[in-house]
């Protein structure tokens, strides 16, 4: 009973994290263009599901997003990643889960990985904050800071890619580094965690190495100033060893970094010595705590850093340093990334939440800490508001469930794009069910093989009345179209078309 009382704040936070994570995962209804690639790269031969942009496609093509061939075929996953631009660990895990039930697909194959990582991060953040601050309320607020953040929910928890997973490895790495730096008699287990997190993080996403680089700069300066050369040597050897093993396990890293389109874009951006203001401002606008806190956060962290130096508070100094490095990470990403998207800054966000909250707490520290608690609570509330609308999706039917109910019909997908593979793939979970799918554009004729009612996926930008005329010309004069209101997708409105 006494243990429950001592951990009541954690139990409250853990229950909230579980409820929020499950409810939002249950509310997922749409796929981004990159999410189908996660399933294809994990399961499909060659890593891509390719078909003609016009004409009829059999459902077996879309079945390749699941494991249709040999299960647990890690050689195939490895080759898929060699010819793509990411390291393979995330895809190994996703393929393993999919291989447990060959031929089937579930959104939970991907969401399950994210959910476990999400809960893991929230728990680690609580206990790490508590160890530094010795404050249960602050630890709970940090936990909720992460759990209820709209960017974390939409771009990490619900986004079926590797960004949520790599954030866990980043969190473990930074916590290990923090303990190595601050503990006089450092437990050897932190060196083990440092090595393992680098090994796994580097095999999950290449942006992990940017964070590692920034952490190494902070650590090297600190250990040199403190003249702790033994720690510095051991840490350096472990970092280089982990990186070397990664290169041996996945030598395609060099091809990806120097020969791929993404890699060459990053190198050219760096070598151009030109500041991409537009991208930088884009990331400021999409900052994980909102645009205004991008600047406000820097100010608070600088004050905390100065306070840490003046009062010789090592924990505060390191907290401010690691939190400030998040801004440098955002800057680097803004200059080398192909797109402006919050998911690229998600990997280091849990670390930022913990250290920023600790710095805020120290800057506004008072007898009852009302200012710090109130400010953090305010940030939690305003950053959760934009995520609430996602929950409304739970009242709608998943489009893939609607497709299952209509699996003995054909589907017609009409797109605006002449090369619609990416947008069509966002409804891959639906198109796995229909007998066949006809793909066309309004500028093309349509090979009519439809004799009965069908399901229409119409790209949202297209005019329904023009589409109806097109279908009457190409299918039948006697049709009626009814929108399916309780089904949503990323790019398409869904209609039931009756052929009389």
Mean pLDDT of 417-421: 86
Dihedral sign for Cα atoms in the order 237, 243, 246, 251: negative
pLDDT in tens, 303-318: 999 999 999 999 999 9
Percent of the chain residues topping a pLDDT of 90: 79
Mean pLDDT of 144-155: 96
pLDDT of residue 5: 64
Asked if residues 2 and 132 have their Cβ atoms less than 8 Å apart, the reply is no
Tally of helices (H runs) and strands (E runs) in the chain: 24, 6
3-state secondary structure of 439: strand
pTM of the model: 0.95
SS3 track for 207-239: HHHHHHHHHHHHHHHHHHHHCCHHHHHHHHHHH
Q: At what angle do helices 349-363 and 107-133 cross, to 10 degrees?
A: 30
In this structure, of 53-67, 263-277, 343-357, 454-468, the range with the lowest mean pLDDT score is 263-277
pLDDT of residue 206: 96
pLDDT in tens, 476-490: 888 999 999 999 999
Main-chain phi, psi angles of 441, to 5 degrees: -125, 160
pLDDT in tens, 338-372: 888 999 999 999 999 999 999 999 998 877 789 89
Nearest to 89 by CA among 74, 103, 100, 102: 74
3-state secondary structure of 27: coil
273 — pLDDT class (breaks 50, 70, 90): low
Rg (CA), the chain: 25
b/e 298-314 (16+ beta carbons within 10 angstroms → b): eebbebbbebbeeeeee
Mean pLDDT of 382-396: 91
Does the pLDDT value for residue 333 go beyond 60? yes
In this structure, of 1-15, 41-55, 385-399, 407-421, the range with the lowest mean pLDDT score is 1-15
pLDDT of residue 261: 72
334 — pLDDT class (breaks 50, 70, 90): very high
pLDDT in tens, 40-68: 999 999 888 888 888 999 999 999 999 99
Asked if residues 81 and 87 have their Cβ atoms less than 8 Å apart, the reply is yes
pLDDT of residue 450: 80
Burial of 97: CB neighbours in 10 Å, binned 0-12, 13-18, 19+? middle
pLDDT of residue 492: 97
Mean pLDDT of 441-458: 88
Mean pLDDT of 16-35: 96
Output the CA–CA distances (angstroms, integers) from residue 393 to 26, 145, 493, in the order listed: 9, 23, 15
Q: At what angle do helices 314-336 and 261-271 cross, to 10 degrees?
A: 110
Asked if residues 130 and 78 have their Cβ atoms less than 8 Å apart, the reply is no
Asked if residues 87 and 204 have their Cβ atoms less than 8 Å apart, the reply is yes
pLDDT of residue 125: 98
For residues 251 and 267, which has the higher predicted lDDT (pLDDT)?
A: 251
Burial of 340: CB neighbours in 10 Å, binned 0-12, 13-18, 19+? middle
CA distance 153 to 24: 8
In this structure, of 89-103, 156-170, 355-369, the range with the lowest mean pLDDT score is 355-369
């Amino acid at each position: 009973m006494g243990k429950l009382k001592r951990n009541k704040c954690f139990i409250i936070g853990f229950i909230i994290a579980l409820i929020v994570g499950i409810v939002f995962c249950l509310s997922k209804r749409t796929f981004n263009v990159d999410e189908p690639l996660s399933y294809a790269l994990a399961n499909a031969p060659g890593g891509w599901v390719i078909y003609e942009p016009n004409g009829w496609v059999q459902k077996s093509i879309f079945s390749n997003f699941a494991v249709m061939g040999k299960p647990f075929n890690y050689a195939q996953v490895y080759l898929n990643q060699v010819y793509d631009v990411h390291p393979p660990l995330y895809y190994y895990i996703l393929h393993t889960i999919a291989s447990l039930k060959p031929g089937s697909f579930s959104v939970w194959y991907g969401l399950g990985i994210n959910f476990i990582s999400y809960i893991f991060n929230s728990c680690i953040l609580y206990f790490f904050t508590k160890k530094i601050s010795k404050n249960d309320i602050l630890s709970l607020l940090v936990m909720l800071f992460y759990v209820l953040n709209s960017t974390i929910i939409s771009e990490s928890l619900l986004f079926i890619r590797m960004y949520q997973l790599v954030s866990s490895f980043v969190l473990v790495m930074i916590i290990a580094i923090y303990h190595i730096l601050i503990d006089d008699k450092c437990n050897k287990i932190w060196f083990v965690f440092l090595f393992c997190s680098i090994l796994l993080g580097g095999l999950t996403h290449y942006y992990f190495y940017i964070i590692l680089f920034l952490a190494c700069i902070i650590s090297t300066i600190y250990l040199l100033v403190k003249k702790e050369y033994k720690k510095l040597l051991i840490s350096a050897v472990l970092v280089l060893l982990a990186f070397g093993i990664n290169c041996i396990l996945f030598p395609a890293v060099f091809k990806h970094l120097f020969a791929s389109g993404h890699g060459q874009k990053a190198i050219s951006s760096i070598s151009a010595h030109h500041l991409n203001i537009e991208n930088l401002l884009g990331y400021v606008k999409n900052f994980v705590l909102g645009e205004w806190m991008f600047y406000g956060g820097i100010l608070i962290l600088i004050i905390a850093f100065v306070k840490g130096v003046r009062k010789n508070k090592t924990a505060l100094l390191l907290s401010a340093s690691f939190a400030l490095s998040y801004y440098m990470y955002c800057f680097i990403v803004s200059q080398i990334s192909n797109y402006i998207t919050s998911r690229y800054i998600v990997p280091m966000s849990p670390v930022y939440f913990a250290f920023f909250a600790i710095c805020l707490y120290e800057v506004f520290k008072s007898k009852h800490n009302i200012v710090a608690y109130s400010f953090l609570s305010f940030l939690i509330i305003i950053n959760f508001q934009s995520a609430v609308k996602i929950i409304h999706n739970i009242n709608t039917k998943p489009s893939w469930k609607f497709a299952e109910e209509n699996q003995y019909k054909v589907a017609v997908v009409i797109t605006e794009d002449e090369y619609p593979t990416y947008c069509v793939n966002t409804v891959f979970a639906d198109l796995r069910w229909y007998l066949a799918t006809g793909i066309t554009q309004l500028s093309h004729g349509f090979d009519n093989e439809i004799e009965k009612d069908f399901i229409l996926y119409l790209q949202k930008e297209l005019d329904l009345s023009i589409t109806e005329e097109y279908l009457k010309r190409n299918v039948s004069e006697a049709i009626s179209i009814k929108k399916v209101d309780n089904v949503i997708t990323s790019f398409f409105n869904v209609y039931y078309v009756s052929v009389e």
